[in-house]
């Protein structure tokens, strides 16, 4: 495996990040996970826009998106696999032991791992912890992801693959690494960005293609929704067949199946929509 580390490709065994990197020591960094299909990054422009927005939110200098594109191209070329997940990490760079950034400038790392196609449906759990819809990091894709790691581990313990968070007002928000859609009386809804969810790239594409409405929803809507599905770069559109062990009958239902079909058709046509 060849990885891009600060300006060049290295073998994974030789790719080193300093123990003083701010992304590691205090989570002062941002990242993107990009899907590589048929040797091409999907929706790369949108990912680079969000990387830049996240970096600005942390007060990091704007990433050089030409360099990031070059790094992505080099890593994809050096690691030919049919379906892969590529991780772009951009951090505060080296710093002394305090919490201030050093002068060495930001760090850019690009790595790639093989990926597998997810099943069409999955089980999810809900967690008692909340997403803060008004925090400094709300809506930013930062390397401070440990809360998601903890919630996802809880899901795995219970035979599920995703955990859904409410926000502090008890409204439906998002999963650890996905956005959520629900069908009520035949209409498709997804929580608005004001719920505190990440502006998912798959969410925006699917909402645009299906005409889903942004609706502020209580978390317990999950108990009465006719259909529920998740969206993310690695899941595409994935039906939910159980919430907290309770079956969602008929998953994937007709609205979900249509969203899956539309996504597969449109995404295959245009790798950078
Ligand atoms: N919400 C969170 C917290 C995420 O980490 C992700 C994944 O990146 C998503 C939602 C889905 O976003 P996308 O569709 O851009 O992968």
User: How many angstroms is it from 96 CA to the middle of ligand 1?
Assistant: 31
Structure tokens at 235: 């899941």
* CA separation for the pair 192, 20 (Å, rounded): 37
Contact between 126 and 103 (Cβ < 8 Å): no
Low-confidence ranges of the chain (pLDDT < 70): 96-99, 102-103
Q: Which pLDDT belongs to residue 102?
A: 67
Q: Which pLDDT belongs to residue 105?
A: 75
User: How many angstroms is it from 161 CA to the middle of ligand 1?
Assistant: 14
Q: Determine which residue's CA is closest to atom 5 belonging to ligand 1.
A: 177
Q: Determine which residue's CA is closest to atom 10 belonging to ligand 1.
A: 178
Q: Which pLDDT belongs to residue 98?
A: 63
This model of the complex carries an ipTM of 0.99
Please tell me if the CB atom of residue 174 comes closer than 6 angstroms to any atom of ligand 1: yes
CA 32 to ligand 1: nearest atom: 8
Please tell me if the CB atom of residue 138 comes closer than 6 angstroms to any atom of ligand 1: no
User: How many angstroms is it from 246 CA to the middle of ligand 1?
Assistant: 25
Give me the residues paired with residue 171 across strands: 218
Please tell me if the CB atom of residue 196 comes closer than 6 angstroms to any atom of ligand 1: no
Q: Which pLDDT belongs to residue 59?
A: 92
Q: What is the pLDDT of residues 63-103, one digit of tens each?
A: 999 999 999 999 999 998 878 999 999 998 887 666 677 66
Q: Which pLDDT belongs to residue 221?
A: 97
* CA separation for the pair 47, 68 (Å, rounded): 11
CA 204 to ligand 1: nearest atom: 14
User: How many angstroms is it from 42 CA to the middle of ligand 1?
Assistant: 14
Q: Which pLDDT belongs to residue 81?
A: 83
Please tell me if the CB atom of residue 203 comes closer than 6 angstroms to any atom of ligand 1: yes
Q: Which pLDDT belongs to residue 19?
A: 87
């Amino acid at each position: 495996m060849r990885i891009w580390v600060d300006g060049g490709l290295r073998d994974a065994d030789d790719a080193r990040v300093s123990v003083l990197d701010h992304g590691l020591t205090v989570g002062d960094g941002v990242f993107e996970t990009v899907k590589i299909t048929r040797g091409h990054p999907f929706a790369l422009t949108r990912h680079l826009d969000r990387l830049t927005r996240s970096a600005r939110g942390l007060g990091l200098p704007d990433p050089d998106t030409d360099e990031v594109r070059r790094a992505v191209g080099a890593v994809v070329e050096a690691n030919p696999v049919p379906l892969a997940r590529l991780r772009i990490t951009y951090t505060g760079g080296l710093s002394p032991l305090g919490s201030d950034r050093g002068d060495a400038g930001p760090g850019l790392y690009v790595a790639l791992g093989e990926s597998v196609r997810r099943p069409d449906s999955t089980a999810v759990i809900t967690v008692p912890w909340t997403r803060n819809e008004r925090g400094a990091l709300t809506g930013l894709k930062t390397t401070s992801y440990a809360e998601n790691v903890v919630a996802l581990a809880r899901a795995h313990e219970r035979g599920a693959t995703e955990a859904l968070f409410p926000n502090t007002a008890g409204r439906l928000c998002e999963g650890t690494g996905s956005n959520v859609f629900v069908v009520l009386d035949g209409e498709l809804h997804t929580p608005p960005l004001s719920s505190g969810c990440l502006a998912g790239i798959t969410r925006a594409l699917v909402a645009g293609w299906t005409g889903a409405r942004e609706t502020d929803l209580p978390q317990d809507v999950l108990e009465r929704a006719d259909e529920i599905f998740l969206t993310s770069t690695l899941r595409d559109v994935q039906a939910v067949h159980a919430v907290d062990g309770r079956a969602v009958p008929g998953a994937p239902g007709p609205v979900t199946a249509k969203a899956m079909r539309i996504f597969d058709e449109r995404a295959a046509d245009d790798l950078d929509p």
